[in-house]
Amino acid sequence: MIGPMFGRADSIEPMGLFIDDRGGYTTVAMAIALLLSVTLALFAGRVQWGLSRAAEVQEVADACAMAGSNVVARYATCAQVCDAMILTMGVAGLLTCACALVLSCIPGAGEAAGEMIDLGSSMLDARSSFARSAVSGLSKLEAAVPALVMLNSIAVVEANEDSGIGYAGVAVPFPLEGRSDFSSLDTEVDSEGLEDAAENLQKEAEHVEEAAKREDEALMRGWMADCGDRPRCMRERAATLAGLAPSANPDYAVYTAWTFGAALMRARAYYPVRRACDVPEDGSLESLVDSCARKAFYDYAVRQLAGGYYRELPDGGVDLYLPELPHNTAETKETVLYTEPRWPCTQEPEGRVLHATLACPGASGAAAGFAALCDIDSGSVGSCTQCQMDATDMGRVAAASTSIDNGFEHYWRDVVLASRDYEAARDERAAAERELGEIAGEGADAFEKALDSLGVPRAKIVPPGAWGCVAIVGRTDGEFVPERLGASFLDPASLPAGMAISAAMLAPDDSADGDSVLAHLFDGMVEQNPALFGVLGDAGALWGSLVASYGAAYDGLAAEASGFLDRIDGLTGSAAGSWIKETVRSLVREAGIEPADIRMLKPVLVSTSGVFERAGLGGVARVQGILASLGPSPDTASLLRALGAAYIEGLPDSKITIAELTIPGTGMTIPLEVDLAELAGGP
C-alpha cells in the first residue's frame, strides 16, 4: 500500500503528493487540508473571543457612566421631593388659615376658627422649619454628590471584574461642583396678618350677631304688636274698631315677612276711618265732649302719620320714623294738640270762653274765634263751666286707648318703641357688617401677600452631574487566550490593554409617576407617625391630597383648594365669609404658582463630546486628548486627573439627614435620611 501510493522518488511529480495518478486527493492532501481548516477555525475563534472580550470594556464604561448618573438622579429626586413637600405644606397651611377666616365670620364659630388659625399657623411654622433644614441638608448632600458618583462608579467597575481580566475606571460628574439655588425654599410665609384678621373678624362677627339678635327681637316685638293677635293686636283692633277691609288691613303670618312699614300703612288707613265714623256714644254732654276730643286726636294722628316713613338702605341699614302719639296729659301738652288754636270760643259775660263745640249748652254768647287748650292754662280764655273742655280731657282720650289693651294706640305705642330698637340695632349691624367687610378685605390682602411669597420661582436644581457624567475605564493586559482556542496549534497570546470612554446624563422618565413617589412618601410618614393626622386632622388630609395629586400640573392644587373650601359651604355665615371664600378660591386659582417639577429622571447614554461641550471643555478634541494622554494601564487616580478631578478617599458620614419635619402641636420630628453608603455602592 505504501509503495503504490508514493512510487519511486525520481518519478514523483510536483502535485503527486496531493493528487494521485487517477486524479484523486491523496491522504497527505486530506490531512493538510484538515489541519489548515482546524487552524483557521481556531484562529477565527480566538479573534472572535478577543473582539468580544475587548468590547466588554465599553460595556463596563457605559455601566460606569450610568452608575454615576444614577447617583445624580437620586439626589435630584430628594431635591424634587423636598421642593414639592415645602410648596404643598405652605399651600395647605395657607388654606387652613383661609378656612379660619371664613369661620371667623360665622358667629359662634370663634372657637373652631381659633383652632383652625392655630393649626394653619403651626403648619406654616413647620414648613419654615422643614425648609431651613432642607436647604442645609440638600446643600450638604449636593457637596457629597461628586464623591458619591465616583465611589458608586468605581464599585460598578470592580463588580465587573472576573478572574481573567481587571478594570480600572471611574465616572466624573460635570459640573464638578453643584450650582443649585435653594434660596426660594426657605422663603418665609408671614401668617401674622392672617392671625390678626381672624381675631378681629371673630370680634366683629360677634358684634354683628349681637346686633342681629337685638334687631330680630325688635322685629318680633313689632310684629307681635301689629299682627300677633294674642288675643289682640293692631290688625285685630283695626278690623274691630274701624272695620278695615283685609286689603287695607293685611295679615302677615310670619314676622320675617313683616316690616315696620306695614304697621305704618295700617295706621294710616285706620285713623281717617275712625275720624270719619266717630260719633258720641249717647246724648250726654260728656259723650259729646269725648267725641270732639277723639276727632282732634284722630286729626293729629293722621297728620303725624303722614310724616312717617320706612326705607331700606343699600348699606343694609334702615331709615325709619314712626311718630309716637301721646298717651297722657303730660305728653299731650308737648304736642300741637295743646298749642293749636282749633277750639271754638264765645264771648260770655265773664269773658272769652273755650268750648269743645259750639253745640255746648254753655256757648250762649257771640262767636269769638278759636283758641288753644294752652290758653286756658295761661288765662287768655276761660274754661266752659258746662263742657269743661281742657287739656285733661284731651289727655284722657289718649290715655284711655293707650293704657289698656283694647285700644289701637296701645299696640301702636309698642310698635313705635320696637321700631326705635330695631332701627338702632339694624344700623349697628349694618355698621358692624361694613367693618366686618373691611376686615375681611384686610384678611384677603394678607392671604394674597402670603400666597405671593409661595409664588417665588421654584428651586433651581443644578447638582454635580447635571450636564452628565463621563466615565473612563481601562482594561489591564495579561489575560491569555483560553487553551481550548488552539493552544496546540497556535502560539500563546494574551488580551492587550484597552480603554473605553462613555457618558450618561439624566432625562425625564415619562413612564414613571412622580405623584406616586410623593404619595408613597407621605403615606410612609403617616404610617410611621400616626400622630401626624391625629394632630393635623382635615388640614393634614388636605396636605396629603395636595402631595398625592400635585405633580407638574397646577390644576390639581387649585381643585384641592376649592374642594377644601367647599366643605364649609353648609355652615351659615355672613356675606363677608362667603366673599372671603370666593376670593381665596379665585386667588389660588389665579396665583399661577410655579409647580414643583417632580418628573422622575433616569440616566441615558449620550455623546461624550456633547457633555464636554456643555461643560465648555471642548468636544471631540477633548475626548481624543484625554485618551491620548493616558498610558497603556492607567490607574483610577490618573483617570481622575485626566478628567480634571481629584481622588476621593471616602465619605465622612454614613447618613445625611436631608430635612426634619416637625409635627405641629407634638414637638415630634420626622427625619428624612439618605444612606450615603448605599448611594456609594456599598452593601
Q: For 185-209, how does the pLDDT look when each residue is reduced to its tens digit (9 = 90+)?
A: 777 777 788 888 888 888 888 888 8
Q: How far is CA 48 from CA 42, 45, 486, 493, 494, in A?
A: 10, 5, 13, 14, 13
Single out the residue of 571, 552, 491, 459 nearest to residue 116, CA to CA.
571
Q: What is the tens place of the pLDDT at every residue in 429-456?
A: 989 988 988 888 888 888 888 877 776 6
What average pLDDT score do residues 254-276 get? Answer: 95
**pLDDT reading at 566 higher than 70:** no
Eight-class DSSP state of 596 = P
Confidence of residue 3 (pLDDT cuts 50, 70, 90): very low
Cα distance between residue 278 and residue 299, in whole Å: 12
Gap between the Cα atoms of 203 and 198, Å rounded? 9
Are the C-beta atoms of residues 180 and 142 closer than 8 Å to each other? yes
C-alpha span between 567 and 553 (Å, rounded): 23
More confident residue, 645 or 554: 645
Start-to-end C-alpha separation, the chain: 73
Residue 647 DSSP class = -
Q: At what angle do helices 555-566 and 27-104 cross, to 10 degrees?
A: 40
Instruction: Please report the DSSP string for 417-478 in residue order.
Output: HHHHHHHHHHHHHHHHHHHHHHHHHHHHHHHHHHHHHHTSPPPB---TTSSEEEEEEEE-S-
Mean pLDDT of 493-514: 72
Q: Is it the case that residue 36 has pLDDT exceeding 50?
A: yes
In sequence order, which residues have a C-beta less than 8 Å from that of residue 578 and are 6 or more positions away? Answer: none
Given pLDDT bands bounded at 50, 70 and 90, which one contains residue 592? low
* Cα-trace Rg, the chain: 52
Q: What is the pLDDT of residue 18?
A: 63
Q: State CA 356 to chain mean position distance.
A: 79
Give the DSSP H/E element, type plus range, for residue 639. helix 636-642
Are 550 and 598 a contacting pair, CB within 8 Å? yes
Region 168-182 average pLDDT: 86
Better-scored residue on pLDDT, 370 or 653: 370
pLDDT for residue 19: 73
pLDDT for position 2: 36
Q: Give the per-residue pLDDT at 219.
A: 96
User: How many whole angstroms separate alpha carbon 100 and alpha carbon 122?
Assistant: 13
Is pLDDT above 70 for 510? no
Does 677 have pLDDT greater than 90?
no
Work out the average pLDDT over 666-678: 76
Does residue 226 register a pLDDT over 90?
yes
pLDDT, mean of residues 551-570: 58
User: Residue 558 has what pLDDT?
Assistant: 59
* DSSP helix/strand/coil, 307: coil
DSSP 19: B
Grouping H, G, I as helix, E, B as strand and the rest as coil, residue 354 is strand
φ/ψ of residue 274, rounded to 5:
-65, -40
- 385 three-class SS: coil
Say yes or no to pLDDT of 572 above 50. Answer: no
- Max mean pLDDT among 3-12, 352-361, 603-612, 621-630 falls in 352-361
User: What is the pLDDT of the chain when averaged over all its residues?
Assistant: 79
Residue 562: its H or E element: helix 555-566
Residue, of 215 and 85, whose pLDDT is higher: 215
The per-residue pLDDT for 108 is: 73
Query: What is residue 552's predicted lDDT score, i.e. its pLDDT?
Result: 42
Highest mean pLDDT among 118-127, 194-203, 265-274, 563-572: 265-274
The Cα 122–Cα 275 span in angstroms is 73
Phi, psi of 659 (to 5 degrees): -160, 160
Residue 154: C-alpha distances to residues 147, 158, 378, 467, 652 (Å): 10, 6, 123, 20, 18
Q: What confidence tier does 14 reach under pLDDT thresholds 50, 70, 90?
A: low
If you average pLDDT over residues 33-38, what whole number do you get? 65
d(CA 203, CA 209): 10
What does the pLDDT read at residue 486? 47
pLDDT at 501 over 60: yes
pLDDT in tens, 287-333: 999 999 999 999 999 999 999 999 998 888 899 999 999 989 999 99
The 10s digit of each residue's pLDDT in 417-428 is: 999 999 999 999
Q: pLDDT over 90 for what percent of the chain?
A: 29
User: What pLDDT score was predicted for residue 53?
Assistant: 52
Residue 118 corresponds to which cell in the numbers above?
Answer: 392655630
pTM: 0.68
Residue-level pLDDT at 42? 52
As given in the structure block, the three cell numbers for residue 453 are: 411669597
- Separation between Cα atoms, residue 373 and residue 323, nearest integer Å: 22
Residue 512 vs residue 288, higher pLDDT: 288
In the structure, what pLDDT confidence band is assigned to residue 345 with cuts at 50, 70 and 90? Answer: very high
Report residue 261's pLDDT band, with 50, 70 and 90 as the boundaries.
Answer: very high
Indicate the SS3 state at residue 526.
helix
Higher-confidence position of 511 and 131: 131
Q: How far apart are CA 161 and CA 170, in angstroms?
A: 14
| Residue 501 three-state SS | strand
> Is 174 strand, coil or helix?
strand
Give me the count of residues in the chain: 683
Task: Specify the range with the lowest mean pLDDT, choosing from 28-42, 233-247, 468-482.
Answer: 28-42
pLDDT at res. 269: 96
The pLDDT of residue 485 is 46
Task: Indicate the burial class of 286 (C-beta count within 10 angstroms; 0-12, 13-18, 19 or more).
Answer: middle
Cβ(543)–Cβ(661) under 8 Å? no
Q: Greatest CA span in the chain, whole angstroms?
A: 205
User: Does residue 9 surpass a pLDDT of 60?
Assistant: no
What is d(CA 129, CA 135) in angstroms, rounded to the nearest whole number? 10
d(CA 261, CA 257): 11
Which residues, in sequence order, are bridge partners of residue 343? 371
- Per-residue pLDDT, 557: 59
* Cα separation, 514 vs 83, whole angstroms: 13
Q: 44-58, 80-94, 143-157 — which one is most confidently predicted on average?
A: 143-157
What Å distances lie between residue 436 and 194, 202, 342, 427, 432, CA to CA? 14, 9, 53, 14, 6
Pairing of strands 318-321, 351-354: unpaired
User: For residue 122, what is its C-alpha cell?
Assistant: 403651626
pLDDT band at 652 (very low <50, low <70, confident <90, very high): low
Of residues 642 and 279, more confidently modeled: 279
Q: At CA 90, angle to CA 88 and CA 95, rounded to 5?
A: 95
DSSP character at residue 257: G
pLDDT band per the 50, 70, 90 thresholds, residue 4:
very low
pLDDT at 491: 46
Task: Kindly tell me if the per-residue pLDDT of 227 is higher than 80.
Answer: yes
**CA 353 – CA 342 distance, rounded (Å):** 13
How far apart are the C-alpha atoms of 168 and 499, rounded to whole Å? 10
Asked if residue 159 has pLDDT above 70, the reply is yes
Cis, peptide link before residue 344, omega less than 30° from 0:
no
Q: What is the DSSP letter of 11?
A: G
Residue with cell 403648619: 123
The SS3 of residue 669 is strand
DSSP H or E stretch at residue 352:
strand 351-354
